[in-house]
Each structure stands twice: as structure tokens, then as C-alpha cells.
Amino acid sequence: MRPEILFPLFRPITALAGVGPRISKLMEKLTGEHIVDILWHLPTSFVDRRFTPTIADAPDHAIVTLEVTVAKHFPSRNRRAPYKVSCFDETGHMDLVFFNARADYLKKQLPEGETRIVSGTVERFQGVLQMTHPDRMGSLDEKEDIQTVDPVYPLTAGVTNKLMGKTVQHALEQTTALPEWLNEAFKKVKNWPDWQDALTSAHHPGCEEDLFADTPARERLAYDELLANQLALALVRRTVRRAAGRSITGNGSLRKTIRDALPFDLTTSQEDSLKEIETDMAEPLRMLRLLQGDVGSGKTVVALLSALTAIEAGLQAVIMAPTEILARQHMETIAPLLTGTPINPILLTGRDKGKKRQAILEQIASGEVQLIIGTHALFQDDVDFANLGLAIIDEQHRFGVHQRLALASKGQHVDVLVMTATPIPRTLMLTAYGDMDVSRLLEKPAGRKPVDTRVMPLAKLEEVAFGLKRMIDKGARIYWVCPLVEESDKIEVAAAQERFEHLQSLYGARVGLVHGKMKGTEKDAVMAAFVAGDIDILVATTVIEVGVNVPEATVMIVEHAERFGLAQLHQLRGRIGRGMDASTCLLLYGTPLSENGQARLKIMRDTEDGFIIAEEDLRLRGAGEVLGTRQSGLPEFKLAQLPAHEDLLAAARDDVKLILEQDPELQTERGQALRTLLYLFEEDASVGYLRSG
């Protein structure tokens, strides 16, 4: 249960003065629905109103605060003309200018003959100083209030900075001092303020430097967030690991049969990973391991051999993929390999319904089938296993951390192997998986040819489309990827449809189309035709992004490549270069291309190393966007900025290790404060893994 001290911060933002239902809807999108979310909304710049020159000395275009006497009001003569109020001080005259003004309001704010404080941007118009729509106006008593530094916040339509600033102030008023969860010595060395002071000062920048990521206030807040993240992960992970596992070894017979039948030797990384997995499985603890390997690095074989280890031991194994296409493909790759064995894998996806599904479920529950391949729905549904020993979860980056780890706690004693093709930078790895054990497939299977990547403007699209003829004549199979449209799947599908028709007009029936809105069976039919070579060009939205394997495909064209994340482009490009023939990737970009966009496409041209691409992506875009915001499943931080706060992340990880060694159930005074920290960052679920304190 959330501690009482946090109750005020978790009230809806409508509890704040000035935030009604209409405003709260707009603001929620920007911040979140609770008062605490407003606190995390830090300013990105500021307006300094401390400059108080005379009218004569006020520089053009400057933001100034002036002390003036109101001379006379000149209401607008027609709707388009402005309302003017002329003012003066001992050095000269000036005009305050208002459009669409309410006369009665202005008369009250600026009574003739009285001295007023006005603050805003000034400019000279035909020699006369003007201030259009002052940001602030007030009486002499309010001078100190006006002559301040205003934080400037990220905004959204309908929410002004003034409103945002006031709302933040009101939110800050709701805070109280919280018990300290930081190690005092560490806090002292870092020279960090208390939590409440840190918040207050982060919201009141006085100079440029106060906005930097390395100010004590911002560092402290970032550290709090990272500490909560690392602590939560450690708690979940500890619980999973503590759960009794069982020692699974197997006699190696099935594995030997398969290895002998493989048309290739395993790479060193594959061998190493298998050893690590087998060692984990043999331990009486539960395995929780991540297998990280770039596209095409050969994870499937590792998965299969691991599954066989469990099956040899008389247990069941399940391989789960994020999409139907992938589940099917795993089935198609794996089934033929198993022909020399008594193992009959079975496929279960959301598409199996009614009697058929019932029959499959019975086979799983009776233990008749040992290897089950399916979509993630396998875990969500009430699928009963006779004796599940190993769960392999493929391409899990589309899922949230907690979801992922919670999967592990579903089956009893089940070992878990998570596979991801996303080359996650080390930094993010820690935030998404904590200290999960990791095996990496570093080298690609022998015989791969590098992909020739070219970058060109969309203006060349027609030329490219015609040029495909030559490639098709040589027997090439081609992926044509249509632009990503973040805002609308509908537009995305429409664009794909249009390109499909366009290419069909050139190449007739040998063009196919797949997109996310198609029925599963339709998609399969098109994919099958592409695999079989009945179509040469496959027009697709990003549904082909993950895992699809057609070794004969050697050409990939990506429209509006600049709209894709680098990791995504890398995934897409990974679809080609899988066979023995040389491959080409054409990245078409829309103009004008930003400097950042140029830099990113250049990286794609220069390297195929997924880890380099991921690190560069992080450097160029920041953590939030590295994997494409869509479905990325990586935690998004509100206060911590990666990579700027990378060293804090490492410190938080070490901190957590010590904390859990010294106070495993968070019972001490600091432990209690750390519980509050977890609730503060909405890691409520992880507190459930502690003995109640």
C-alpha cells in the first residue's frame, strides 16, 4: 500500500487550483494524470525578468521589466487595429499594445495616472518603444514577484507557459520533506540537496547552467529515478531466482542427433552461449538469461538445442514469438530439423480456435507433445502444461520489463531464456533488464556477404522502381518497405496500397503486399508466395521488421528511411544478406534532410554492426527514442537523461547491490525510505516482492 506521506502527490491534477477538466485533459497528455507527474515536468529554459532598464535604455528585442506611469488608453477604432496604452517614465514614452483586447479588463489593470510594473519583450517601432501583450503586469507591490526568472516548460496546444508555471508551483506546494533514501555519505560527496529542495531548485533555474543535466538538483532527481528502477528490477529478479528451480541436464542424445544433422558448424558464440545456458539449466536455481544476438546471428538453433536439453530430461519446452508470422517461421525452421527424432513440435497461435485449439491444449496438458511453438498468447491464456521445464521468449523487446519478468513467475520452476535481436546499448540494457545474465552472439555465421547500402533522395524513386527490372531478371527477390506513419496506421496502410498498385502497374502479378491490417491467413499466403518465388517484390509496412527469414531476398528498399529509428532500419536491413548472394539496400530519404537525419543515414551506410548502430543512435537521439517509441518496452525516464546520466545508473546498480546485501527486506529506516521511493516512482508491484515492513 502506498505510504500516506505520498497521498497528496498521487491525487489527480484537477486537485490543483486552476486545473479544470478541460485543462487537465490537455495537460495529462503532456505530463501524466497525477500531481507527481507535474513535479517531474522540468523546465527546458527560462526567461530572465530581472533586467530593469529605463524606457530610454531598453534595448530592442530584449525581455525587460519596466516601471512606468500609465498616461492614456487608446481603444482600437476597429477590430483589426490594436488597443494601445501609452506610458512614460522620466526618460521617455512607450506604448503597450494589445490585440483583441478587453477594454474593461485593461482599464482595471492599467488605471490612468498610476504607476505599474510591466514585463515582456520590447521593440522599437518608428522610434517608439513598444511592448506587445506584456507577459506580466502588476502594481508596485508586486514588483518583486514580477521581476523574477520564469522557468519555461515544454508545452502543448492550449496550455500556456504561464499556466504550466503556476500549476508547477501549486504542485510544489503539495510536497513535503520525505525521509531520506540516499546513503548519507554518498549524498554528501555528491553535494546533493534533499529531495524537496532538489525539486524546488530544478524548477527555478536562475542561469543557463541550472538547466544542465549535471546540476546537483537534477542529478539527485535523476539518481532517485534510476535507483527506483534498479531496485525494482533487482527485487523482481531476486524473487524469480529464489524460486526453487530444478536441475535440468538431459543425456545429450537429441542434441547430438540434431547437431549431426545441421548443415553447418555452430559459431564460437553459439557454442559459448549454449554452454552458459546448459550450465544455468543444470543448476538447481531458476534460469533467467537473455540471449542477445543481432539479426541473422543464429539464435533459433541455440533456442532449439536449449529446448532439447529440457526435452531430453523428460520436460516440455515452449518457444514464444511476438507475431504469428514469426511463430510460424520458427515452426517451419525447426520442424524439418527434428525429422530424425521422435519429437513432433506443435504450433499454437491465436488463430487456432474451437475444436482444433481444444485438441492442441489437450495434447499440451497430457504431455503428449514436448515442444510447443506459439505466440505470446500462449502464456496469457490458460494453457496447462504437463511438465514445462523451459520457456523461450523471442524478440521480447516489445514487452515491458515487468511483464517479461512476471512471465517467469507464472510456471513453476520454469527456466526462462529471453531472446532479443535488438542490440541494446549497455546503458539501456541495465535499465531494461537490470543485472540479468546475458549471453551474446557476437559473430555472424560464416559465409555472409556484407550488404551494399546506398542513401539517396526520394526524387529517385521512379528511377529505382524501373531499375528493379534488371534485378528481377537476375532472379533477385525484393522487399519494398513503405514509410512509417507514427500518427496513423490507416495512412500507413494507404501508402503501402498505393505503392503496391504503382509497382503492379510496372511488374504485374509478381508483386505482393503485406501490412498489419491484413488477416493472418492473407499475410501468410503472400509471405509463402514470396518464399516460394512466385512473387518477386514484396511491398510491406514494418510488419516484416522482426525475424522474417527469406535467404533468397537480396534487395531492400526503404521509403522515407529518415523516419525510422536506426535500430529499426538495422532490423529491416537484416532481412537481406542472409543468403549466399550479394545484397543491396537502398535508403530513400525525404528532403530537406536534417543534419541529424544525415548523420543517422550515414551510420547505416558505414556499418552493419548492430551494437555500433545502437550506441550511435543513443548518442544522436537520446534513450527515449532509441528503439522507436512504438512498442519499445524499454522504460522511459522522466528525470534521468541517458546517456548523460550513465554513470549515475552504474552507481545506482552498485548501490542496490549493497542495499539488498545489508537490508534484504528493506526493514531498516533507510529501507523504509527506499520503499517510499519505489512508490514515488510507481514501482508499486515490486514492493510486493518484499516481506511486509
- Nearest-approach distance from CB 303 to ligand ADP, in angstroms: 8
Residue placing its CB nearer to Mg ion in the complex, 199 or 303? 303
> Nearest Cα to 589, choosing from 484, 504, 506?
484
**420 near ligand ADP, judged by CB under 6 A:** no
Given ligand ADP, Mg ion, none, residue 295, with its beta carbon under 5 to 8 Å by kind, binds ligand ADP
**C-alpha separations of 447 from 273, 330, 338 in Å:** 21, 22, 24
- Whole-angstrom distance, CA of residue 62 vs CA of residue 133: 14
Among 267, 273, 420, 542, binds ligand ADP (CB under 6 A): 267
Task: Say whether residue 155 binds ligand ADP (CB under 6 A).
Answer: no
In the bound complex, what is the minimum distance in angstroms from residue 5's beta carbon to ligand ADP? 48
Which CB sits closer to Mg ion, 512 or 574? 574
Q: Between residues 294 and 312, which has the closer beta carbon with respect to Mg ion?
A: 294
Q: How far apart are CA 568 and CA 542, in angstroms?
A: 9
Nearer to ligand ADP, 70 or 295 (CB): 295
Angstrom distance (rounded) from CA 275 to CA 566 = 32
Binding part of the chain for ligand ADP, among 60-68, 299-307, 403-411, 522-530 by CB under 6 A, reads 299-307
Q: Report the residue closest to ligand ADP, judged by CB.
A: 298
Kindly tell me which residue out of 295, 347, 550, 649 binds ligand ADP, with binding defined by CB under 6 A: 295
The residue within the footprint of ligand ADP, chosen from 201, 230, 297, 316 (CB under 6 A), is 297
Residue number, 311 or 548, with CB nearest to ligand ADP: 548
| Among 15, 155, 163, 266, interactor with ligand ADP by CB under 6 A | 266
Q: Which of ligand ADP, Mg ion, none has residue 293 at its interface (CB below 5 to 8 Å by kind)?
A: ligand ADP
- Distances in whole angstroms, Cα of residue 666 to Cα of each of 235, 242, 518, 669, 693: 11, 17, 50, 8, 7
- Report helix, strand or coil for 178: coil
Per partner kind, with CB cut-offs from 5 to 8 A, the member of ligand ADP, Mg ion, none near residue 671 is none
Work out whether 293 is an interface residue with ligand ADP (CB under 6 A): yes
Is residue 306 a contact residue for ligand ADP (CB under 6 A)? Answer: no
Q: Is 299 in the site for ligand ADP (CB under 6 A)?
A: yes
Q: How far is the CA of 469 from the CAs of 472, 529, 577, in angstroms?
A: 5, 19, 20
Stretch in the footprint of ligand ADP (CB under 6 A) among 41-49, 56-64, 260-268, 406-414: 260-268
Q: Are 517 and 433 in contact (CB under 8 A)?
A: no
For position 571 contacting ligand ADP by CB under 6 A, the verdict is no
* Contact footprint for Mg ion (CB under 5 A): 547
Are the CB atoms for 16 and 171 separated by under 8 Å?
Answer: yes
* Distance of closest approach, residue 274 Cβ to ligand ADP, in angstroms: 11
Rule CB under 6 A: is residue 296 a binding residue for ligand ADP?
yes
Query: What is d(CA 634, CA 645) in angstroms, rounded to the nearest whole number?
Result: 16
Question: Using the rule CB under 6 A, is 300 a contact of ligand ADP?
Answer: yes
- Cell readout for 288 is 533467467
Near ligand ADP by CB under 6 A, which window of 91-99, 152-160, 263-271, 306-314? 263-271
Region for 682 from its dihedrals, namely left if φ exceeds 0, alpha if ψ lies in -120 to 50, beta otherwise? left
C-alpha 497/C-alpha 512 separation (Å) is: 10
Number of residues that bind ligand ADP (CB under 6 A): 18
Dihedral pair phi/psi, residue 316, rounded to 5°: -95, 155
Joined together, the cell numbers standing for residue 100 give: 483583441
Integer angstrom CA distances of residue 563 from 83, 481, 523, 539, 567: 45, 12, 24, 17, 12
Please report, as residue ranges, which positions from 463 to 522 form the binding site for ligand ADP (by CB under 6 A): none
Instruction: Count other Cβ atoms within 10 Å, centred on residue 176.
Output: 10
In the chain, the N- to C-terminal Cα span, in Å, equals 11
State the binding string over 542-561 for ligand ADP (x if CB under 6 A, else -): -----x-x------------
Site residues (vs ligand ADP, CB under 6 A)? 264, 266-267, 270, 293, 295-301, 421, 445-446, 547, 549, 578
